[in-house]
Structure 1
Amino acid sequence: MHFPDSLARGVAPVRPGTLHARTVTGGVKAAPQAGAVVRFGRAGKPEVDLGVGEDDLHVSRQHGELAYRERQWWLRNTGQQLVRLPRGQFLHATTDPIPLATGYTPLFVKGCGHREHLVELYVSGHDDDGLTPHRRAETLPPKIWPLDDVERLLLVILGQRYLYYEENPRPLTYRQAADSLADIRRDERWGERKIEARVETVRRRLDACGFPFPLIHDMAMGRPCDNNLLHNLLRGLVDSTTLVPTDLELLEDDHHA
């Protein structure tokens, strides 16, 4: 989808705070006026303004609403199933409404089985007028985080499930990594503590460089599990394509022979 159409074409100035909402069955636009409400759900018009999951009985007839107040659009779940937002955030019917940030926000309404129904939201900002298409410009590359050869090998071993793009991957243990290294680098001695220390060095270095996920213990919030910090590290490295599936070739026994 090109979203929203008026912005994509660079026509008709859009008032800041205007809400654009779209699903596979249609779309609506709402001006930022106090008391404005946009409802979405299975029922379709006129009961809701935007249909979603119209063939899925697990989606409520009125599953959510967006209300404009205090100069912001607020999202509330009014349905029986969860609404999922980016970065693992969920809304239940008992959850307080949350404000929408300017720009694009996808949300997913949980349906039958593994089905999820997408609702695309866009709140225009002050810089949306006169957007210029960049169809011929060079694509901006993802940020690649610096790793030396040893760090890359260690992280590929620990994060191989992420590189196979498994569902809900978790890191290998340091014990498992040490066993793998004993096969791959037979002339070197790598114990669990040595691997853990090297990974901690990477975490501290990348955290200081603005890594997008937490990598260091926040003592004010309590001490999290090291495994969760390692998960954050591996997720960020794979998401940024710093680690890619071809790196799995490093695990071949004869690669470092």
Structure 2
Amino acid sequence: MVLAMPKRSNKVDILPKEAGSLAHGLPPAQPGTLFVMGLNGGMSVAPGARFDLLFGRCEPDVHVCVGGNDPHVSRRHGYITAEGSRWILHNTGRLAIRFPGSRLVLGGHRAELPVAYTPLFIVAPRQEHLLEVRIATKAATRNRAERHEADTCDADQWELSDAEHLVLVCLSQRYLRQEPHPQPLTWAQVADELSRLQPGGRWTSKRAAHIVTDVRKRLSPKVYGLVEEEVPPPLGNTLNHNLITELLVTATIAQSDLALLDGAPRTSES
């Protein structure tokens, strides 16, 4: 069965792949509009459209394709529909869908989507597949440079310096690459990778750890679980894991930031 794609209208619209990550902002939209993005593009659905947005592996059978090359993902893995003013995620596939952190929506179950940017992950055996979801609250600026010039910045994102942003993307890359059961890189791994990326940056394990610790301390008054006193032993990677989860949930870092590790120029000043 080939799914008929909706025609462009003021209620339902197609998002081209070139639109980029929803983490970086939205085009002007009515508050409550649903945006969903996969690797090959996505869709927006305005409130009151009475439209069930289907997602899954088989591109001809869904509105948004996710996990297209993974046979573990169901052809139609789920759908998102409106119930009053709420958007509800329905998992009709076999694999669980993970919210940021550890919350799972199992097959046959449903969950309300928060009014925010929400990266969802279909948990396959060898890889987690990203489905970006965002519900519009107000017009948002499109990238980091524009956010600095805007009158008001997105309230749900944390401001980071360029050095902080780079270190945290490097530390978090296993999460951003959607590896199963990801853990932060070690400080030695971070320092080694950043030294190869910026040979003159004087990167050391101590410097990387100091930068991340400063970010944790700065966010800790508003985010629980970023200081030792709030986490029972053994600590392990818990503090950095909690920090990474917060940055992912708030879209402070996103999958597209992995381009920074491919040689994109950034300052090394801390």
TM normalised by structure 2 equals 0.51
Q: Using the alignment, how far apart are the partners of 2:246 and 2:83 within structure 1?
A: 37
- Give 1:7 shift: 5.5
Deviation digits for residues 220-244 of structure 1 (CA, Å, limit 9, x no counterpart)? xxxxx93266754354578899xxx
Q: 1:238 to 1:58 in 2, by over 3 A?
A: closer
Deviation digits for residues 66-86 of structure 1 (CA, Å, limit 9, x no counterpart)? 110130111121111111220
**2:31 is aligned with 1:19:** no
Indicate conservation of the 8 Å contact 2:98/2:105, yes or no.
yes
**2:135 is aligned with 1:123:** yes
SS in 1 for 2:101: helix
**2:175 is aligned with 1:163:** no
Q: Using the alignment, how far apart are the partners of 2:95 and 2:41 within structure 1?
A: 22
Query: Which of 69, 94, 103 is the matching residue for 1:80?
Result: 94
Indicate conservation of the 8 Å contact 2:220/2:226, yes or no.
no
Q: Which residue pairs with 2:160 in the alignment? A: 141
Q: Which residue pairs with 1:254 in the alignment? A: none
Q: Which residue pairs with 1:226 in the alignment? A: 232
In the TM superposition, what are the counterparts of 1:20-35 in structure 2 within 5 Å? 20-33=35-48, 35=50
TM normalised by structure 1 equals 0.53
The residue type equivalent to 2:225 in the other structure is: F
- Give 1:64 shift: 1.3
- Give 1:115 shift: 1.9
Q: 1:236 to 1:25 in 2, by over 3 A?
A: closer
Asked which structure has the greater CA Rg, the reply is 1
In the TM superposition, what are the counterparts of 1:100-249 in structure 2 within 5 Å? 100-111=113-124, 113-125=125-137, 127-128=138-139, 131=141, 135=145, 137=148, 140-141=159-160, 162-164=186-188, 209-213=221-225, 226-227=232-233, 232-233=238-239, 235-236=241-242
For the aligned residues, what is the CA RMSD? 4.1
- Give 1:124 shift: 0.5
- Give 1:214 shift: 7.3
Q: Which residue pairs with 2:5 in the alignment? A: none
**Number of corresponding residues:** 173
Query: Which of 11, 17, 20 is the matching residue for 1:2?
Result: 20
Indicate conservation of the 8 Å contact 2:22/2:117, yes or no.
no
Q: Percent identity?
A: 25
The residue type equivalent to 2:115 in the other structure is: T
- Give 1:108 shift: 1.4
Which runs of 5 or more structure 2 residues have no equivalent in the other structure?
A: 1-18, 150-157, 165-183, 191-216, 248-270
